[in-house]
Amino acid sequence: MDSLPNQLFRLFKYFVFWMIFFWLEKVLFLVSNLNQSSQLSVREIIGIFEYGLIMDVSMACYLLLLPALLITFRGFLPLPFISRFLWTYTLLLITGASALVVLDLGLFPHWGTRVNISAFNYIDDPVAMAASVSITDLTLGLLLMGGLITVFLFLYKKMFSGGMVSSGEVKWYVILLQLFLVATLIIPIRGGFDTSPLNLSSVAFSSKLFVNQAASNYLWNFGKSLEKRNKLSNPCEYMPKEQSVQLFDEFMKKNTLIQRPRLIRLNPEKQPNVILIILESFSNKIIAPLGGLHGIAPNLDSLCTKSTVFTSFYSTGNRSDRGISAVMGGYPSLLSTSIMVYPEKTRNLTLLPEYFNRRNYNTSFYYGGDINFYNLKSFVLQGKYGKLVTKSDFPSELGRMSKWGVPDGYVFEQALEDLTKEKTPFMKTIYTISSHPPFDVPYSKIKGNSMEAKYLNSVAYTDSCLGAFIDGFRKSPLWENTLLIVTADHGTMEPGPTDITDPASYRIPMIWSGGVVDSVQHIETITMQSDFGTSLVHQLGWETDSSRFSKDFFTSHPYAFFMLDSGWGYIVPEGNFYFDQNVKNFVREPGDKGNSVDLSFPKAYMQVLHDDFLSR
């Protein structure tokens, strides 16, 4: 006769099997992010396991559900079939879970979020994805994945040497009792008896986002993002739609243009040339005059002392596609995506080069990588650049020098050479790549193998290439009638440790130089990427098309937003505020000055923005 306690004990051991896996994953996560976890107290580290327990239990019960149901009805199925099925089921789960561990550990330092389905937005371009990963990282990842699979399959065989299923006759009342017990798994799966089911705020216990992220179960987080993948809805529904529109429109009506300072000298007989340089992953943290480290980017340091610089300019997101859509399209980032990856939604945007094409400028776009990545090609083509120079236009040996593509030095050299035969007026965009992971650059200034050291070495390389380009261009007669703008697609958490919710992770350079700029000034006005195109066009004396989310730099109520998967930030002169989507509230204390800020507008802004995206 079948022993019910014996069978329940085997199921309990399977539950423990998965709990061991999840606890080991937490340890690996903390070790992998030692630069942040080393700053935590013992109480915080204990809390990561203590408060995260409820989510680990929930996920383990999810994985236990199918085996428990199958074993409940074992009296109707051959035992060898059940045993083989459970072995295959566990093998597939361990393989997938181990692969996601590696992905989670690899992406978190760059994205600042636990692994979710958005990591697969770019899976249709595996070559470009592979370019972000060094051979060392790939090897270590495969070794870790293989090690986890091997260890836990060995553990499974040890724990269930006699199989997961006990033999013997199964009584009908035993089936009913087990079915009842299986049904009770819904309680730990939903996180208890509370009205609200388990969510990310259930494991949050610290004001530090990293601590709460470490406490969450990475597999639960991935599953939740997968569940939401096809539910394209507004994640920022904070109030009735009509109220959000009213608040948004009323604020925008009051946010009028104040006196706009003239940043460039215009020649009524000759349109100025424009060169826009977008640096990959550059933040003010590596530019000394902007409060950053000394000696990392000496050419940018020097440029800041000879130019008009916006010291409070913010990226609207933390990934390349989000930054490019804001700089080129005037459309801010969204919480978990960007408009750039939806070509059908960008068709009504007026992209920056279109304003120049209307005035017979010769427009060109330079990028040393694979332009198909991030849907960049269709976006650039929509902007109707007259000429595209990409990885495929360089000798193949240059494209193989770096995992991501042609190193920046060669791209800048080509752009400088082309300037000698460029018809004026021209608008040239140069988008760099060398400071993109894995930071494999033909340069060695910053020593060390840590991620931060490699990143700093890569930006030092790009800075040297930028310096050579500017020095060469200054010798050209074109310099006197050219506006040179240097900015970035997004900021970084390096050098850190810096929290992903910290505005410093989004503060990026916005430098205006060139012969048409004769003023040296630091402008402290708070502004953001989506305002850039409108402001540039206005400075050139042109009118812009209607744009709901792009304002001039110099409006009466300056503000900036930055967005990430788990929340968004709002920056105004009175302070900065962070809204956590998991708890549906602002979690950053702004101080006394911030208490006077009406926080209904930023919520209305985010709601209207996402409604606009959905309706396109």
Give percent above pLDDT 70 in the chain. 91
CA 15 centroid distance within chain? 34
Whether residue 181 contacts residue 4, with contact meaning beta carbons closer than 8 Å, is answered with no
At 107-122, the pLDDT tens digits run 888 777 788 777 676 6
Q: How far apart are the first and last CA of the chain?
A: 64
At 403-452, the pLDDT tens digits run 889 999 999 999 999 998 999 999 999 999 999 988 999 999 999 888 89
How distant, in Å, are the alpha carbons of 98, 103, 484, 544 from that of 25? 9, 12, 47, 51
- Give pLDDT, residue 210: 85
Whether residue 338 is predicted with pLDDT greater than 80 in this model: the reply is yes
Q: What is the mean pLDDT of residues 22-44?
A: 93
- Interacting residues of 540 by C-beta distance below 8 A, sequence separation 6+: 264, 266, 271, 272, 274
Which of the two residues, 378 and 430, has the higher pLDDT score?
A: 430
Determine which of 48-52, 104-108, 274-278, 472-476 has the lowest per-residue pLDDT on average: 104-108
- Measuring CA to CA, which residue among 337, 315, 263 is closest to residue 487? 315
Q: What is the mean pLDDT of residues 251-257?
A: 92
The helices-and-strands tally (H runs, E runs) of the chain is: 21, 14
For CA atoms 136, 142, 146, 152, give the dihedral sign: positive
- Give pLDDT, residue 1: 41
For CA atoms 126, 131, 132, 137, give the dihedral sign: positive
pTM of the model: 0.83
Beta-strand relationship, 362-367 and 426-431: parallel
Give percent above pLDDT 90 in the chain. 61
- Measuring CA to CA, which residue among 587, 600, 602, 607 is closest to residue 502? 587
Q: What is the mean pLDDT of residues 237-254?
A: 96
Distance CA 227, CA 408 (A): 40
- Give pLDDT, residue 477: 94
Q: What is the mean pLDDT of residues 203-212?
A: 79
Whether residue 592 is predicted with pLDDT greater than 60 in this model: the reply is no
Whether residue 9 is predicted with pLDDT greater than 90 in this model: the reply is no
Q: What is the mean pLDDT of residues 270-283?
A: 97
Helix/strand/coil for 295: coil
Whether residue 72 contacts residue 178, with contact meaning beta carbons closer than 8 Å, is answered with yes
Whether residue 366 contacts residue 389, with contact meaning beta carbons closer than 8 Å, is answered with yes
- Measuring CA to CA, which residue among 280, 286, 278, 290 is closest to residue 318? 280
Q: At what angle do helices 451-474 and 408-419 cross, to 10 degrees?
A: 10
